[in-house]
């Protein structure tokens, strides 16, 4: 049986996943603007429009054939946009559905004072968007129970990869080394998001999985390492208290935890980029960071 993937929200991570499985399955996906159709086609995705509120009639046929559903659309005040707009269709008009993958965020854990957390740890979201993610996770897990299909929740760390990384920021002159003692961030290379998605989808595995690398680290360390590889001087350190930033950027510093990836590794997945030094060194040596 041919596997048919449908990606609601074919952004940076979902397109990396599509490129990874290209040729192995049929792939369709959505974007909010037809100006992005070429981006989707380049990744091997048959493009459709979804504005976050209305599901067009043109989606009925591809959804009816879908065996694997991947969600990468952020929730809002009205809840998860896909469930809000298409729940009847998802419940009654997807007879081939075998697996659901929902891309969430480690932001749901909130503040743990720099301690290690895993999938069993309490969620203490500190921002509105993270609270909305917790509710969306629950909604999709409930959907899986109703449909009797496995749902995998992938809690993603900070995403980077080609075109989105510290080298780019240094080249543009926008990199900053903001110092907040005791603050850790988790990160994940986009290829390991794609790889873990493929791993879980192939095995029809459900449950909650943290998708982050082995080494949570202070953000200034990563900027300094990238600068050394580029052979440029790192930007000066700036105390957090003296830093101007947007409210959203500042909110990321309200969370503090180290997120364990032991569960996905115990399941059998092996990270291609197990830490930021491996990842940045490979991107620099391979010249694919842009």
Strand partners, 161: 164
What is the per-residue pLDDT across 99-135, written as a single tens digit (0 to 9) for each? Answer: 999 999 999 999 999 999 999 999 999 999 999 999 9
What is the model's pLDDT at position 30? 98
pLDDT digits (tens, 9 = 90+) for 57-90: 999 999 999 999 999 999 999 999 999 999 999 9
Given a cut of 70, is residue 1 above it in pLDDT? Answer: no
pLDDT > 80? residue 94:
yes
pLDDT digits (tens, 9 = 90+) for 197-218: 999 999 999 999 999 999 999 9
More confident residue, 238 or 251: 238
Dist. CA 200–CA 98, nearest whole Å: 12
Work out the average pLDDT over 235-255: 92
Dist. CA 105–CA 67, nearest whole Å: 24
Backbone angles phi, psi at 123, to 5 degrees: -90, 125
SS (H, E, C) 229-270: HHCCCCCCEEEHHHCCCCHHHHHHCCCEEEECCHHHHHCCCC
pLDDT recorded at residue 74: 95
Could you give the CA distance from residue 152 to residue 67 in angstroms, rounded to a whole number?
14
Q: Which residues contact 217 (CB under 8 A, 6 or more apart)?
A: 184, 185, 187, 276
Q: What is the pLDDT of residue 182?
A: 96
Other Cβ atoms less than 10 A from the Cβ of 241: the count is 8
Q: How far is CA 177 from the centre of its chain?
A: 24
pLDDT digits (tens, 9 = 90+) for 147-192: 999 999 999 999 999 999 999 999 999 999 999 999 999 999 999 9
Query: How many Cβ atoms are within 10 Å of 248's Cβ, its own excluded?
Result: 9
Instruction: Work out the mean pLDDT of the chain and round it to a whole number.
Output: 97
- How crowded is residue 29: how many other Cβ atoms within 10 Å of its Cβ? 26
What torsion do the CA atoms of 101, 107, 111, 116 make, to the nearest 10 degrees?
50
pTM exceeds cut of 0.85: yes
Q: Which spans in 128-189 are helix H?
A: 128-147, 166-172
pLDDT category at 248 given cuts 50, 70, 90 is confident
């Amino acid at each position: 049986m041919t596997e048919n993937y449908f990606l609601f929200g074919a952004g940076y991570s979902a397109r990396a996943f599509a490129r990874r499985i290209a040729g192995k399955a049929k792939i369709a996906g959505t974007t909010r603007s037809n100006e992005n159709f070429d981006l989707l086609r380049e990744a091997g995705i048959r493009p459709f429009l979804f504005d976050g509120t209305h599901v067009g009639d043109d989606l009925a046929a591809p959804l009816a054939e879908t065996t694997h559903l991947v969600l990468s659309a952020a929730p809002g005040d009205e809840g998860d946009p896909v469930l809000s707009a298409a729940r009847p269709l998802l419940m009654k008009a997807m007879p081939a559905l075998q697996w659901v993958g929902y891309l969430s965020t480690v932001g749901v854990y909130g503040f743990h004072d720099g301690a290690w957390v895993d999938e069993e740890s309490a969620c203490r979201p500190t921002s509105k968007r993270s609270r909305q993610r917790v509710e969306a996770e629950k909604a999709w897990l409930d959907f899986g129970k109703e449909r009797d299909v496995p749902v995998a929740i992938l809690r993603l760390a900070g995403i980077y990869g080609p075109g989105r990384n510290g080298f780019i920021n240094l080249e543009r002159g926008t990199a900053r080394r903001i110092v907040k003692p005791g603050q850790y961030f988790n990160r994940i290379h986009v290829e390991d998001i794609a790889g873990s998605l493929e791993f879980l989808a192939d095995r029809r595995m459900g449950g909650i999985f943290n998708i982050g690398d082995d080494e949570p680290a202070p953000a200034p360390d990563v900027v300094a390492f990238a600068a050394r590889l580029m052979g440029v001087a790192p930007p000066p350190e700036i105390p957090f208290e003296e830093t101007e930033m947007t409210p959203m950027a500042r909110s990321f510093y309200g969370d503090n935890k180290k997120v364990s990836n032991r569960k996905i590794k115990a399941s059998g997945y092996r990270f291609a980029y197990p830490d930021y030094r491996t990842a940045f060194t490979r991107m620099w040596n391979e010249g694919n960071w842009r």
